Chain A
Amino acid sequence: MSRSTLIRSHAMLAAVLAAAAAGCGGGASPAADVGDAAQRVYVAPGQYDEFYFFASGGFSGQVAVYGLPSGRLLKVVPVFSQNAENAWGYSEQTKAMLNTSYGFVPWDDSHHPQLSMTNGVPDGRWLFINGNNTPRVARLDLTTFETAEILEIPHSAGNHASPFVTENTEYAVAATRFSVPTPQEDVSISQYKEKFRGLITFIKVDSATGRMKIAFQILMPGFDYDLSHSGKGPSHGWSFFTSYNSEQASTLKEVNASQNDKDFIAAVNWKQAEKCVAEGKAKAVPAVYAHNVMEEGSQTAGTTMEKSVTMLEATACPGVVYYLPTPKSPHGVDVDPTGEFIVAGGKLATVIPVHSFSKMLKAIEAHDFAGEVSGVPVLKYESIVAGEVKEPGLGPLHTEFDGKGNAYTSMFVSSEIVKWSLKDFTVLDRIPTYYSIGHLSIPGGDSREPWGKYVIALNKITKDRYLPTGPELAQSAQLIDITGDKMRLLLDFPTIGEPHYAQALPASLIKDRQVRTFELTKNKDAYGVTSEAGTGVERKGRQVHVRMSTIRSHFAPDNIEGIQVGDSVFFHITNLEQDWDVPHGFALTGLNSSELLVMPGQTRTVVWVPSKVGVFPFYCTDFCSALHQEMQGYVRVSPRGSSVALASNSAKK
């Protein structure tokens, strides 16, 4: 065998091995039946996706925005967590957004995005999302894709069943996942049954501005309130909350909260609650909670510490709460597009129970009660159930709807989505998910009019689905076509953090309403400037305020002297640009904070306390123009007490 033949045969062998490896797909799990899937999800360069997809970031605390069907990540909107990339929670103007009654809390666990609705259909105005850990609800403005407001929920612990808005966004809700002493007090944990209470909060949303205000809180028996959805159509005026731990265990809940065959869905008649509040059956209870609002004019967040909340004892208002017995330890509760069916995801149940709203009303009218728990009437399961989906799989969690009479339920344990009929509650189809699906999402899938084209599985575990990245692996979303009789997996893509719930809507509802720049002439920042003429430096004791502007491609001023070690130097950077997609950044050697990223027309401030003598450069961090590299300047720092006069080279123009 000649040398060249030998090489050739080795090359052949390599090719064969490569082909064999390709045949194995990505790993142990089966590859999708590709077919025309690539064409279905391909969005050509320069083309737009059909849907915006808002996925919660889970333990990242943020909201991620993707395009569908491509799965391309468009933006991560910082909400509850500091974000050094754009100074969210670092800049003086945004820090107040993360204030709470516990002080500055720079992180949370964001779970459930909820699009605002009009007549039970997403209207593209705002996106609400809950902070689970330190109970909060945030509102994002969908013209800027920025967080506009964060409201803390007092007396609550673990804001999980939230924000789930009502049909016309009259309210966003917030129910406590962990019952706690209410109001808080220093008691023994063994007094759980006597002292610990659950709490359901209704937050009024102003229909013009979106501003949130706590309307009332309903004191409930001390269970764990888990998830929620509001009624629609005939059931508008009611909200439904799952609960578990009706055993009221305070330890080893894994076992002790899993003993009862049935727990409860709390059906809350909020119109009745409004009536009781108006009749004076509620009382004002002292509470301290932060209300943080980003003011539009100044682009500056402010915190108001609220001092009181209206609280209504569930039993003090007859007709406000009923318990629907539901097998077993239910997680999700979802209302179908007609508003008639209330579907529970009994995570330890062997069936999917479907309650009937009309039957529930009849049973309430007939006082057809099985008894009561802590004064709350419990309806009879047989009187209210419309049907059960038999042998659906293991671990049903959440259900969404396609608007064509079908429901889709995620199965955590058996790792699949099950499609079933709302007509006869029979299983029609099932498709595996990779792996351990939590929530699932259909565009508009919890609304009166779903855009039933895709269902997206939101998976907790990816194991072998992608190239491995050490111990920590991405979570994933899987796009599944639901236009035919059989579900078809088209695409899966990794996500940021952990996507719990997600919602999608047609891009046409928001894409043409985007703010491109903030109007410089309307800049109301106390230290903002509208031209380079307004820039300069000013000393106030140990504080130095630098009014600085940016425009392609220079800072004004760009030489500053007379700063002393230990001064607090406030860099107030105004971006004079009025052109779309031209932010400027600001970074400085040794700055003990994040950079600033300043949008056109906006002012952002960062504080620097220099600790060393010397001359320190600053520069623009966002590649802004051909002369971006030249966009830089110097600050001279002198020893404390130095005679160097404070000076800058601005306003020469």
Chain B
Amino acid sequence: MSRSSRLIVALAALSLAVLYVLPLWHIGLKAPQYPEGLGLYIAADRIVGEKPQDLNSINGLNHYIGMKTIEPDDIPELRFIPKIIGGLIVLGVLVALVGRRGMLYGYAAVLVASAAAGLADFYKWTYDYGHNLDPKAIIKVPGMTYQPPLIGSKQLLNFHATSWPAAGGWVAILVVSLVVGLAVWQWRRGRKPRRVAAGAALALGAAA
């Protein structure tokens, strides 16, 4: 790996540290009675309301449809995701230090797998909240479930729910794309004549 590629990997890995501060995901809810909206930020280690009382308000509303209370303390992922992120940072720095191409491919695969696992876990939790409802729920609409979309928007009774990456999520997407892009480029470079690869590097540099 070239010096600049190693630098890119190191910087990409280190920038994952912002995930200790910035939230990964945002779920928004709007209804006629909530013109200002309610929202949740999901970060590596916490789930907090967009406004101080939003989590409390959302839990209050969810009791009508028999949804379980969202208790951040009961979600074990919030305790070990920060450790996984720490591992990904250390791993990335190692890859940059050693500078072996094979390790870069492995790192790209680990990042993609982590992201996929994170999304799958997120889906599992929202599926659970949305489907496993109290049979004594106050409001029961036949056939209705309340899972917010994994990404995008959806109407849930009087609420319009949205689900999009938050600032940290966009950083994570950028980091994964960068490392995967670099790995693909390195891989193709290894298989093609050197001149083409140099041209591609120039193009990548211009795009950046």
With a cutoff of 8 Å between Cβ atoms, the chain B residues found around residue A578 in the complex are 52-53, 56-57
With a cutoff of 8 Å between Cβ atoms, the chain B residues found around residue A467 in the complex are none
With a cutoff of 8 Å between Cβ atoms, the chain A residues found around residue B53 in the complex are 517, 578-579
Indicate if B102 sits at the interface (CB-CB under 8 A): no
Indicate if A524 sits at the interface (CB-CB under 8 A): no
With a cutoff of 8 Å between Cβ atoms, the chain B residues found around residue A577 in the complex are 60
Could you tell me if B64 and A626 are in contact, using CB atoms closer than 8 angstroms? yes
- Complex formed: what's the CA distance from A578 to B52 in Å? 9
Indicate if B206 sits at the interface (CB-CB under 8 A): no
With a cutoff of 8 Å between Cβ atoms, the chain A residues found around residue B52 in the complex are 578
For the complex formed, measure the closest distance between the CB of A653 and the CB atoms of chain B, giving whole angstroms: 11
Indicate if B138 sits at the interface (CB-CB under 8 A): yes
- Complex formed: what's the CA distance from A71 to B56 in Å? 37
Indicate if A140 sits at the interface (CB-CB under 8 A): no
With a cutoff of 8 Å between Cβ atoms, the chain B residues found around residue A579 in the complex are 53, 56-57, 60
For the complex formed, measure the closest distance between the CB of B199 and the CB atoms of chain A, giving whole angstroms: 56
Indicate if A551 sits at the interface (CB-CB under 8 A): yes
With a cutoff of 8 Å between Cβ atoms, the chain B residues found around residue A278 in the complex are none
- Complex formed: what's the CA distance from A627 to B60 in Å? 13
How many residues of chain B have a CB within 8 Å of chain A?
A: 8
- Complex formed: what's the CA distance from A517 to B49 in Å? 16
- Complex formed: what's the CA distance from A285 to B56 in Å? 54
With a cutoff of 8 Å between Cβ atoms, the chain A residues found around residue B56 in the complex are 578-579
Within 8 A of A (CB), among B57-78: 57, 60, 64
Within 8 A of B (CB), among A621-653: 625-627
Indicate if A211 sits at the interface (CB-CB under 8 A): no
- Complex formed: what's the CA distance from A380 to B139 in Å? 81
Within 8 A of A (CB), among B77-130: none
- Complex formed: what's the CA distance from A133 to B60 in Å? 47
With a cutoff of 8 Å between Cβ atoms, the chain B residues found around residue A463 in the complex are none
Could you tell me if B57 and A627 are in contact, using CB atoms closer than 8 angstroms? no
- Complex formed: what's the CA distance from A577 to B139 in Å? 20
For the complex formed, measure the closest distance between the CB of B153 and the CB atoms of chain A, giving whole angstroms: 23
Could you tell me if A551 and B60 are in contact, using CB atoms closer than 8 angstroms? yes
For the complex formed, measure the closest distance between the CB of A550 and the CB atoms of chain B, giving whole angstroms: 12
Q: Flag B31-67 by CB within 8 Å of A: 1 or 0 each.
A: 0000000000000000000001100110010001000
For the complex formed, measure the closest distance between the CB of B146 and the CB atoms of chain A, giving whole angstroms: 16
Q: Flag B123-147 by CB within 8 Å of A: 1 or 0 each.
A: 0000000000000001100000000
Indicate if A552 sits at the interface (CB-CB under 8 A): yes
Could you tell me if A552 and B138 are in contact, using CB atoms closer than 8 angstroms? no
Q: A517: nearest residue on chain B (CB-CB)?
A: B53
For the complex formed, measure the closest distance between the CB of B143 and the CB atoms of chain A, giving whole angstroms: 20
- Complex formed: what's the CA distance from A552 to B57 in Å? 10
- Complex formed: what's the CA distance from A578 to B53 in Å? 6
- Complex formed: what's the CA distance from A551 to B57 in Å? 11
Interface band, chain A? under 10
With a cutoff of 8 Å between Cβ atoms, the chain B residues found around residue A552 in the complex are 60
A-B pairs with CB below 8 Å: how many? 17
With a cutoff of 8 Å between Cβ atoms, the chain B residues found around residue A626 in the complex are 64, 139
For the complex formed, measure the closest distance between the CB of A625 and the CB atoms of chain B, giving whole angstroms: 8
Within 8 A of B (CB), among A491-548: 517
For the complex formed, measure the closest distance between the CB of A517 and the CB atoms of chain B, giving whole angstroms: 7
Within 8 A of B (CB), among A569-624: 577-579
With a cutoff of 8 Å between Cβ atoms, the chain A residues found around residue B139 in the complex are 626
- Complex formed: what's the CA distance from A578 to B58 in Å? 11
- Complex formed: what's the CA distance from A579 to B31 in Å? 14
For the complex formed, measure the closest distance between the CB of A599 and the CB atoms of chain B, giving whole angstroms: 14
Q: Flag A126-158 by CB within 8 Å of B: 1 or 0 each.
A: 000000000000000000000000000000000
With a cutoff of 8 Å between Cβ atoms, the chain B residues found around residue A517 in the complex are 53
- Complex formed: what's the CA distance from A625 to B57 in Å? 13
- Complex formed: what's the CA distance from A488 to B139 in Å? 55
For the complex formed, measure the closest distance between the CB of B8 and the CB atoms of chain A, giving whole angstroms: 45
- Complex formed: what's the CA distance from A626 to B139 in Å? 10
For the complex formed, measure the closest distance between the CB of A234 and the CB atoms of chain B, giving whole angstroms: 47
- Complex formed: what's the CA distance from A626 to B137 in Å? 13
With a cutoff of 8 Å between Cβ atoms, the chain A residues found around residue B64 in the complex are 625-627
Within 8 A of A (CB), among B129-185: 138-139
With a cutoff of 8 Å between Cβ atoms, the chain A residues found around residue B60 in the complex are 551-552, 577, 579
Q: Which of B57, B60, B64: most chain A CB closer than 10 A?
A: B60
Q: A577: nearest residue on chain B (CB-CB)?
A: B60
Q: B61: nearest residue on chain A (CB-CB)?
A: A552
- Complex formed: what's the CA distance from A32 to B157 in Å? 49
Within 8 A of B (CB), among A208-238: none
- Complex formed: what's the CA distance from A577 to B60 in Å? 8
Q: B53: nearest residue on chain A (CB-CB)?
A: A578
Q: A579: nearest residue on chain B (CB-CB)?
A: B57
- Complex formed: what's the CA distance from A517 to B53 in Å? 10
With a cutoff of 8 Å between Cβ atoms, the chain A residues found around residue B138 in the complex are 627
Q: Which of A552, A579, A625, A627: most chain B CB closer than 10 A?
A: A579
- Complex formed: what's the CA distance from A552 to B58 in Å? 12
For the complex formed, measure the closest distance between the CB of B57 and the CB atoms of chain A, giving whole angstroms: 5
- Complex formed: what's the CA distance from A517 to B52 in Å? 11
For the complex formed, measure the closest distance between the CB of B188 and the CB atoms of chain A, giving whole angstroms: 55
For the complex formed, measure the closest distance between the CB of A248 and the CB atoms of chain B, giving whole angstroms: 61
- Complex formed: what's the CA distance from A74 to B119 in Å? 48
Q: B58: nearest residue on chain A (CB-CB)?
A: A579
- Complex formed: what's the CA distance from A579 to B38 in Å? 10
Q: B63: nearest residue on chain A (CB-CB)?
A: A552
- Complex formed: what's the CA distance from A626 to B60 in Å? 13
- Complex formed: what's the CA distance from A551 to B69 in Å? 15
Q: B36: nearest residue on chain A (CB-CB)?
A: A580
- Complex formed: what's the CA distance from A517 to B51 in Å? 12
- Complex formed: what's the CA distance from A551 to B56 in Å? 11
- Complex formed: what's the CA distance from A578 to B38 in Å? 13
- Complex formed: what's the CA distance from A626 to B57 in Å? 15
- Complex formed: what's the CA distance from A635 to B52 in Å? 36
Q: B56: nearest residue on chain A (CB-CB)?
A: A578
Q: Which of B52, B53, B139: most chain A CB closer than 10 A?
A: B53
- Complex formed: what's the CA distance from A551 to B138 in Å? 15
- Complex formed: what's the CA distance from A579 to B60 in Å? 10
Within 8 A of B (CB), among A13-72: none
With a cutoff of 8 Å between Cβ atoms, the chain A residues found around residue B57 in the complex are 578-579
Q: B33: nearest residue on chain A (CB-CB)?
A: A581
- Complex formed: what's the CA distance from A626 to B64 in Å? 9
- Complex formed: what's the CA distance from A579 to B58 in Å? 10
With a cutoff of 8 Å between Cβ atoms, the chain B residues found around residue A551 in the complex are 60
For the complex formed, measure the closest distance between the CB of A580 and the CB atoms of chain B, giving whole angstroms: 8
- Complex formed: what's the CA distance from A578 to B138 in Å? 21
With a cutoff of 8 Å between Cβ atoms, the chain B residues found around residue A625 in the complex are 64
- Complex formed: what's the CA distance from A239 to B139 in Å? 64
For the complex formed, measure the closest distance between the CB of B145 and the CB atoms of chain A, giving whole angstroms: 20
- Complex formed: what's the CA distance from A577 to B63 in Å? 14
- Complex formed: what's the CA distance from A217 to B139 in Å? 65
For the complex formed, measure the closest distance between the CB of B19 and the CB atoms of chain A, giving whole angstroms: 28
- Complex formed: what's the CA distance from A578 to B51 in Å? 11
Lowest 7 A-B CB distances belong to which pairs? A578-B53, A579-B57, A578-B56, A627-B138, A552-B60, A579-B53, A551-B60
Enumerate 9 A-B pairs (CB-CB under 8 Å) in ascending A order.
Answer: A551-B60, A577-B60, A578-B52, A578-B57, A579-B57, A579-B60, A625-B64, A626-B139, A627-B64
Contacts A579-B57, A626-B139 aside, 15 further interface pairs with beta carbons under 8 A come to A517-B53, A551-B60, A552-B60, A577-B60, A578-B52, A578-B53, A578-B56, A578-B57, A579-B53, A579-B56, A579-B60, A625-B64, A626-B64, A627-B64, A627-B138
